[in-house]
Each structure stands twice: as C-alpha cells, then as structure tokens.
Structure 1
C-alpha cells in the first residue's frame, strides 16, 4: 500500500483494530468485559500498545472528555489471549481535564484473578486546544515508502522470527535501521518507519497508543534478539492525526543493568508531532 493511501481507506469503527478492542459494560460501577485477540500477540503475549488502546477505550467510555492526553501503564504480568475484565475508576473531573484509572484482569482456571495492567490517565478535548506551536522537533528523515522494507516482504532470511502482530500492521522500515533483520545491527538504537494499520483504518488518538509500541524494539539494533517486555509506558497524545501515513521514530540511548529506555515520536501526514512516548523495557539478553 503506497504512503498516499495508508490509513485513508478504512473506516473508524469498522476495522480489525476496533473490533479487537471492543468492550462491553457489565453493569454499574465501571466494569467492562473484553476479549484479548490473539492477532495482537508477540510470541504469545499481548502487545503493550494494543492493551494500552483497549484500556484507553474503557476510560473514554467512563470519563466525560473524549481524548487521551496522557496515559501511563504499568505492566504487572503478561496478558494472554482470551476473556478479560476491565475496571475503571474516575478520580477527578474538571472543565478541561478528567482523570481516571483502569485495571485489566484475567481469571485463571481455578477462579483467581490476576491483574495484568494498571493505567492512570488524563483525558481532554484535543479539538479545543489552541493552534499555537513552538517547537524545535522535526519529522524523522525517511526514504520514500517504496524504498523501505516490511517484515513480510520477500528478501534475505530474517535473523529474528516475525510475531503475529506484524500481520495487523502496514509499516515499512528505513533500511538504515534494519541491520538487525540480517544479523548486522548498527548499535545505534534507532528505528524509523512509515506506519499504518493493515486494513487502512485512518489513525485516531486511540490507534496512536498502539503506534507508539508496535514497531520492532530499538533493542534489536543493539544486537538483542529476544523479547523486550515493557515494564512501564507513558504516552502523550498531542493532536488528532490527519488521514494518511504516519511516520515513527523510536530511539534508545541507554541499555544498562538489564533495562533500557525507549522514546517514540509519531508524526502525521501534515508534519505534526501527534504522539510521544517513553517506556522502560527489560530485554531478554
């Protein structure tokens, strides 16, 4: 799919992403039921960005403001495909911001519940923000879409396996950041890519929460080939993205003591910085 069409053909509300992050209220008191879909897994565990979007959908339903401004998640244990419960607690409602927390839980066969993720978030209205922008940030330099490589493209054998999540996405990686794909990592801790959802769904604030955590981890360019589970992730949504392809820059400057930070910037087709994130992750060294 060319960059002029990525993210422009799908209808919000009628896409795989929306179906697989659907929730249903299970009565008064902020409780919701969900089903965690196996299509968003990374070697058996659900992707952190997918879970963040799912919990953000429940918070949006429970809070009076429509858009996530800042969402912080602590990943307490690995989430697996299957039924899940979400419990939302509104904490404060103001004129411009409302705050709430949400917990994702799964029940074992013996009936015990395990908390998987806990989120604290502030919501507002992105459409009500002023247009003033003062920034030194610039979009990441990327070759044309057709000169970048997808993980499912034919080519040299991959040095790492492809997770199920990749089939849900349409992204093309800058060749300068794909040395890890053939066992020759650059050591720079950087990943750059064109990005969209595979079914062409247009981006929105909820899908941006998926975007900040669904590219290959920057740890791969440090020579790490195992899984890189997230410990904590904070995302800031800055604008409602324009239709069209997104560009993502992910960087890490420090992998030490078995942990690493990873920063992400997401830019829309109008060259606006629409989302930022930082996470602490623990690579399997």
Structure 2
C-alpha cells in the first residue's frame, strides 16, 4: 500500500489572496502536484486538513478541481480531513455529508485492494486546538470492530503527538488517552496528521504517527529560538507498507521544495529567504488567547 500524504493547503476563494500576505496557496499546491506527477502505484491520496484558509465553498471546489483529477491519474482514492481553518458545513456542500451524524465530517473510504481510511474531524468552531467528541470515538470503535482486509489508516488534522513549539502545544489535540484506547489492538496501521506544518514522527501507544510538512509553508521548529516562524517551502510525504505483515511499520519518505506560490509583494526576490512569518512571544500570546482553549 502506498499513500501520498498532503496537508495544510490553506486555499482561498479569491485567487489573488495570499497567505500571510505572501503565499499564493493555489500556486503552491499546483507546483507540489507537478513535482509528484511521476508517482506510480499510489492507492490513497490523503489531505490531512486545513484544506481552506477562509472556509469558503469556492475554496473547497478549487481543492477538488485540483486533487480529484490528480488522484484519478494515479488510480488512487482521495480523502480530506477537516482542520481548524476548515468549515465542515461548507465542505459538505462540495463533498456531501459525513458518514454519521452532522456536523462531523467523519468518513470511511475503502481502496480497491481492501485497505481502509477512516477520517476523523478534529475541528472546533472558532478555535485552533483539536477535539474528538464521545460520539465520534464511539463511532470509531464500531468501525474498527470489523477489521479491513489490508488494514486501516487513520487520518486527523491535529496530531496525537506532543508539539515541538509553545504555540503548537497550545493548539494541539485533546483526549489522547481516549483516542489511544479506542485504537489499541485494532487494525490501525498508521495515523496521518497535519497542523504542525513540519515533518514529525512518533507513536500513539503502539501505532505509528506521521505529520507531513505543509504545502503552504513549512514551520521551522528548531531555528526560531523564542520566536515561532515558518519558511517559504512546500512539502509532502509518501507512506508505504511492504504488505508482508499487518504489523509491519511504514516506510515514510518526505520531500520539501521551494514554495512556488511565494510571490513577494514588493518584487524583491531576496524576500524569498525571509520567513513567511516570525512571531515573537507577544504575538504568540495573542494567537493563543484568540484560538487556544477556553480556560474556565
């Protein structure tokens, strides 16, 4: 089984809009797809959330106009998770309702060779952190009670891993113990996530977790000192299982390229070397107050 993992495209309805006044996100995605056009034997194309920046129906139409034919050329199924910038009700107007009670965009997709992708919607309206409700975890348990022939891939935007920076730790996923209990002993072979915008690997219990780098930018978790910054790069990952054992660990390959959507507003190509954003501690506090957990 081969899985192409994309994440964090942050598309807009307005083609002239730029992410952080810098990145033309549709151009960034087009270039990534062009870089990946030579792939073969892909069973599943996963987009692990923050598909849209503005949550508009038009942005989701644009996403599928780009990803549907790309996945079809690969002979792969496409699955899209909801992230903190996404609006599930707007996405439903393009992709239809989820596989159980609204408003969740939780879905099950089975590939032709019997592998299964289960998508969980971790978005919280108006917030940056992630959460799974009890009804979602109950639904997940029912799905996983019947194993898939080639195993299950779990897709959710917010990673079930400790984040590398203070900002991302304030916007991480609630309820890791509950999720771990729901999947332990099942056929889940890997969890694929986004949100952090940089590559990261770990485990939730015994299950491998992979976070792919963002398409719209790549966070620099090591070089920022007391700042939080992202660079004008785009990335993607390829997740492969050898098929010899249902317990085999995935082989994960990640690539990062210069961001083709980086269009400096002042026309200065030297701007490409500067971070897309560079938040100091005060800016981070403001983001956490606006999008972090509500403390009662």
How high is the TM-score relative to the length of structure 1? Answer: 0.25
Higher strand share: 1
